[in-house]
Structure 1
Amino acid sequence: MTVRTTRRSAGLLLFRRTGDGLEVLLGHMGGPFFAKKESGAWTVVKGEYGPDEPAWEAARREFREELGLAPPEGEAVALGEVAQAGGKVVTAWAVEADLDPETITPGTFTMEWPPRSGRTREFPELDRVAWFAVERARELIVAAQATFLDRLAEHAD
């Protein structure tokens, strides 16, 4: 009998208040699979963690690894968990902070590309990071993660 463990990710959803309303910081997933996609290819800045690491610590570590910046200080609003279509469970916190996407130095990952070529290439974890109004973010974010936007909006009211 094979026991499957649930893959888990944790992340931080930065938000800021502007004259036009609430905006959130999302990252566009890097690598060849998402290069030409927009809808469903943007995500909370997050990453996987193991059973021995607390989710909050993983969220902060992944922020640093994926963006090359220290995670912002400030009140962290727990946004709970969502299960994505592939079965991964994502836990997120919202933190109010402002960040210039131009200051980001993305982390990278290596994979065989093209498939079955025997060659490996390095790709950015996130190839773009940008601020979006919540309604625009809802059109772009991984479907299950839209729940985080709803929970943030409830908190921000």
Structure 2
Amino acid sequence: MPKRSAGILLYKYDADRIRVLLVHPGGPFWSNRDFGAWSIPKGEYNADEQPDAAARREFLEETGIAVTGPLTPLGEERQKGGKSVVAYASESDFDIDRLRSNSFDMEWPPRSGRTQSFPEVDRAGWFTLADARAKINPAQRPFLDRLEELCSGSSP
């Protein structure tokens, strides 16, 4: 069974434009990557956990902020590696200077025998939909399209 992740695409209106929150993965593999590397805050969940609850948990773990407002389903997409991602939209603001991510440990440098700790998310940013389409993992772009459709009839 492929791995499953759930996440939240947080959005806000800024001068009548939609802006979305994306996060950049931490660790040495991602340090010099930009376009196509950003993501919605998301993480894996098991069969005994509801995807919306997992999305809220993962958002909190990756950003330090709890999303308590309503979630609107944005569907499911399969990423290049086979992982299935379920996404939800929620309207809220988030001060990116307050980003507090959990961390993970890995051997670094490779084959050194030393373990280092890295943040799971090293930065966050608010992007217009056009900029987000360039920054986000290509498999997650349909979530941006669905959010745009969802918000097209809404006003701030």
TM range (shorter): over 0.9
- Equivalent positions of 1:59-74 (< 5 A) are 59-71=55-67, 73-74=68-69
TM-score, length-scaled by structure 2: 0.94
What is the identity, as a one-letter code, of the residue corresponding to 2:130? E
Shift of 1:114: 1.4
Moved more, 110-119 or 128-137: 110-119
Give the secondary-structure state (helix, strand or coil) at the position aligned to 2:82.
coil
Give the secondary-structure state (helix, strand or coil) at the position aligned to 2:11.
strand
Q: Distance in 1 between matches of 2:87 and 2:20?
A: 13
**1:15 maps to which of 11, 31, 52:** 11
Aligned length: 152
Moved more, 144-153 or 116-125: 116-125
What is the identity, as a one-letter code, of the residue corresponding to 1:54? Q
> What is the CA deviation profile of residues 54-78 of structure 1, one whole-angstrom value per residue up to 9, with x for unaligned ones?
111100111111111212x323110
Q: Distance in 2 between matches of 1:90 and 1:19?
A: 30
Could you tell me the percent identity over the aligned residues?
51
Give the secondary-structure state (helix, strand or coil) at the position aligned to 1:50.
coil
Shift of 1:116: 1.8
- Name structure 1 gaps, 5 residues minimum: none
Give the secondary-structure state (helix, strand or coil) at the position aligned to 1:6.
coil
Asked whether 1:143 is paired with 2:138, we answer yes
Q: Distance in 2 between matches of 1:20 and 1:26?
A: 19
TM-score, length-scaled by structure 1: 0.94
Name the structure 2 match of 1:93. 88
Q: Distance in 2 between matches of 1:6 and 1:132?
A: 30
Name the structure 2 match of 1:6. 2
Shift of 1:20: 5.1
> What is the CA deviation profile of residues 82-136 of structure 1, one whole-angstrom value per residue up to 9, with x for unaligned ones?
0000001000100000110011211111111112221111111110001000000
- The 8 Å contact of residues 104 and 118 in structure 2, kept in 1 or not, is answered as yes
- Name structure 2 gaps, 5 residues minimum: none
Asked whether 1:119 is paired with 2:98, we answer no
Q: Find runs of 4+ consecutive structure 1 residues off by over 2 angstroms.
A: none
What is the identity, as a one-letter code, of the residue corresponding to 1:103? R
Asked whether 1:84 is paired with 2:79, we answer yes
Please report the RMSD computed on the Cα atoms of aligned residues, expressed in angstroms: 0.9
Q: Distance in 2 between matches of 1:12 and 1:18?
A: 19
Moved more, 60-69 or 140-149: 60-69
**1:102 maps to which of 93, 97, 100:** 97
